[in-house]
Amino acid sequence: MPPLVGDTVTLRIESIVFGGAGLARLEDGRVMFVLYGAPGELVEATVETVHKDYLEGAVSRVVEASPDRVEPACPLFGECGGCQLQHMSYPAQLVAKEAIVREQLRRIARIEDPPMRPIAGAANPWAYRNHLRFSTGRMYGDIGFIHRRGRGLLKVENCPIADPWANDLLPKLQGKGAGLHQIQMRHNADTGSYLIAPRIRDLDLVLDTGQKEYRERLAGKDFAVSASAFFQVNSAQADEMVRLVGEALPESGDVLVDAFAGVGTFAVLFAHRFRRVIAIEESASATKDAEENVRQAPNVEVLAGKVEDLLPELIARPDAVLLDPPRPGCAPAVLTAIIEFKPKVLVYVSCNPATLARDIRTLCDGGYRLDSVTPVDMFPQTGHIECVTKLSLATET
């Protein structure tokens, strides 16, 4: 009889997939994605969800442990959904993430031997997260994270991947969340600037809250970031990403298009290499921030709107295009416009190796050559992966 929700099955973990679960196979051939296993381990797993073609679950007991298994640093690991890989040593996490990117490029992009560079691991895989969003207990004001399966609030005293500044503040904020839905905390250690939103009205809290924006520092430049705007959560690895993007972009050129420009970081940081930079961003709050930030670079023009709408309408032919889309990747109209414009260099920053591989296939079919893919571990202890990819026009027309 096929396993049902709540049943325990014994499985061998084959590999780690994007998102951090282990891939295993049932006796009937169906795949089961198992949280908290390591490659090679024999485990007992509890079935949590049954789909038509696959199952999901979590390790309940390790029968044969991997030599890469370590004791998780967080007492809430396994209940909190923020981390998926604390049970694996950091070198093993990096190996697993490299393998995920390589497998996606082989399977989806259909590139048998992808030109991958070694993963850019973090010097410190802990205490890095500079942006946290806490849920609150509306009655008593407790602050924490929601259980990974939605089973209520997990009160948090300390988060091992959080910026130490945030952990120092947690005791002061506990009990102050009554009546609020969430509390957002953002901080940059270099500038000392921070944001705690929304405003917490408590006479005993000697701390400014309710800021509309704060200042981030990236590659030596400061950027205004609104409460609702996106910015990378790992400052040290964001600097490394900038370095890798800089290696991939041309040293000089006429026009750079920074698609999905966010608050304008890449546009500002690489404006000195180009006569003109066109930054395209859809988010209203990020566009507002970008317009303020590009005052540092007068040759940058910010266009507000969807990339798939604005990119095909550009008159200027770009020498290079920098893509940094959200997780779903690029809309077909974006890739079609790029293929028609034929910029010599594309730099694609991705947070989803599957949609990256899909878009690489389209671009290669449209006349581009994949030069390099560098995974970047922006989120240690989790199943998330960033990549910096360079493509070049294969033939000049």
Please identify every residue annotated as catalytic: 351
Alpha-carbon Rg for the chain, nearest whole angstrom, is 22
Measured CA to CA, the distance from residue 131 to residue 46 in angstroms comes to 32
Contact 153, 146 (CB under 8 A): yes
Both tokens of 119, joined, read 């993963």
Measured CA to CA, the distance from residue 347 to residue 247 in angstroms comes to 10
Check residue 369 and give left, alpha or beta (phi > 0: left; psi -120 to 50: alpha). beta
Both tokens of 171, joined, read 């005791």
Check residue 99 and give left, alpha or beta (phi > 0: left; psi -120 to 50: alpha). alpha
Strand residue runs (E) in the chain: 8-12, 15-16, 22-25, 31-35, 42-50, 54-64, 131-136, 143-146, 153-155, 182-187, 194-197, 213-218, 221-226, 253-259, 274-281, 300-304, 320-323, 345-350, 368-376, 386-393
Strands 194-197 and 182-187, sheet pairing: antiparallel
Half-sphere exposure of 125 (CA within 13 A, CB side): 19
Q: Amino acid letter at 31?
A: V
Measured CA to CA, the distance from residue 263 to residue 103 in angstroms comes to 32
3-state secondary structure of 304: strand
DSSP 8-state symbol, 147: B
Q: With 0-12 CB in 10 A as exposed, 13-18 as middle and 19+ as buried, what is 160?
A: buried
The whole-angstrom distance between residue 2's C-alpha and the CA centroid of its chain comes to 36
